[in-house]
Amino acid sequence: MRALLFESFAGPLSVREVPEPAPPAGGVVVRVAASGLCRSDWHAWQGHDPDVVLPHVPGHELAGTVAAVGDGVRRWRAGDRVTVPFVNACGRCTQCAAGEHQVCVRQTQPGFTHWGSLAEFVALDAADVNLVAVPEALDLATAAALGCRYATAFRAVTQVARVRAGEWVAVHGCGGVGLSAVQIAVAAGARVVAVDVSADALELARGLGAEQVVRAADDVPAAVHALTSGGAHVSLDALGSPVTCANSVRCLRPRGRHVQVGLLPPGQGRAEVPMERVLALELQVLGSHGMAAHAYPELLGLVAAGRLDPGRLITRELPLDDAPAALAAIGRRPGIAVVTSF
Ligand SMILES: [Zn+2]
Ligand SMILES: [Zn+2]
């Protein structure tokens, strides 16, 4: 099969012929119809993820059809249209028993712990636990975005931050997960302040309903405090950097909630969280890591009802042959790119 492969960290990216995967016991192989390009794929390529073993095929934000089914799978058949959260839970550990599959202690992640979906086929573990049926009305390119950034943003805004109508929500970083969070927070009735270094990214955020925007070159906490009459109720670091993390905590009003959504690889420098403010203002510092498959029906219901529109976030569809250049350019070009031909 054809796949995007790298043999050294931050080295050349190329599309090559590699062996097709076989379905693991309890798992499936999916013929990939769409695979989004995400900043986490860029981190994998750069060598920021200790799980990645070379040579490697990235890609974790996928939708497609089941091509082969492994021993012991009960719920899925060849031809089923599916997507999957990027955290593939084991279904048997203590966290899974509590329904918290997104923090499964024996999780696997396509594109990180094994070869991923920037390829014609991808193997997925524990299919009965992790696969999500894609409704006929939802196209597979849009469904692919649900696997990582959109579902991650949905959980961060609605389930972790528990955003309420009328609250101010600051979103730091308007890449894929940040723009998703803007759309979801607006749909939840929140008033959104979007923050980014890029004027183009802020324009996309405005188009999705952000009421205020802040160029990140300014004093971000001061600007957010001024625009929100005292600070945001909720703030998301949707980029993942020491600066955006600290800005996110500092822009909160008393009793505000910070949610860490973007990855913070320690090699990039550790974030300095101003814990004196956390204490004095009774802030909450929360983490959000994907979303369990069993939590998808609420999200899919809102999409089907037209209340959320993840398809609007896709700015480019491209062939696999263009993926090496697009992956290398992540973070420099606003919007969301999805590979839709292999
Ligand atoms: Zn588990
Ligand atoms: Zn991702």
Residue 222 alpha carbon to ligand 2 centre in Å: 30
| pLDDT score of 330 | 87
Residue 254 alpha carbon to ligand 2 centre in Å: 31
- For residue 224, pLDDT over 90 is answered with yes
Residue 107 alpha carbon to ligand 1 centre in Å: 6
Residue 200 alpha carbon to ligand 1 centre in Å: 40
Which residues touch 325 (CB under 8 Å, ≥6 apart)?
A: none
Cα separation, 231 vs 227, whole angstroms = 8
| pLDDT score of 145 | 83
Identify whether the C-beta of residue 41 lies closer than 8 Å to the C-beta of residue 59: yes
Which ligand number lies closest to the CA of residue 293? Answer: 1
Residue 91 alpha carbon to ligand 1 centre in Å: 5
Residue 187 alpha carbon to ligand 1 centre in Å: 32
Residue 96 alpha carbon to ligand 1 centre in Å: 4
Q: In whole angstroms, how far apart are CA 105 and each of 101, 134, 200?
A: 9, 27, 39
Question: What structural domains does the chain harbor?
Answer: 2-150+291-341 (3.90.180.10), 162-287 (3.40.50.720)
Residue 218 alpha carbon to ligand 1 centre in Å: 43
Which ligand number lies closest to the CA of residue 89? Answer: 1
Task: Read off the tokens for 79.
Answer: 């031809």
Instruction: State the pTM of this model.
Output: 0.94
Residue 311 alpha carbon to ligand 2 centre in Å: 16
CA 159 to chain centre: 15
- For residue 262, pLDDT over 80 is answered with yes
Identify whether the C-beta of residue 65 lies closer than 8 Å to the C-beta of residue 31: yes
- For residue 332, pLDDT over 90 is answered with no
Give residue-wise pLDDT tens across range 149-208.
999 999 999 999 999 999 999 999 999 899 999 999 999 999 999 999 999 999 999 999
- For residue 340, pLDDT over 90 is answered with yes
Which ligand number lies closest to the CA of residue 96? Answer: 1
Residue 176 alpha carbon to ligand 2 centre in Å: 9
- For residue 334, pLDDT over 80 is answered with no
Residue 102 alpha carbon to ligand 1 centre in Å: 9
Enumerate helices (H) and strands (E) in the chain, giving the number of each. 12, 15
Residue 62 alpha carbon to ligand 1 centre in Å: 21
Which ligand number lies closest to the CA of residue 180? Answer: 2
Where would I find the H helices in 171-267?
A: 176-187, 199-207, 220-227, 242-250
Q: Which of the four pLDDT bands, split at 50, 70 and 90, describes residue 331?
A: confident
Which ligand number lies closest to the CA of residue 176? Answer: 2
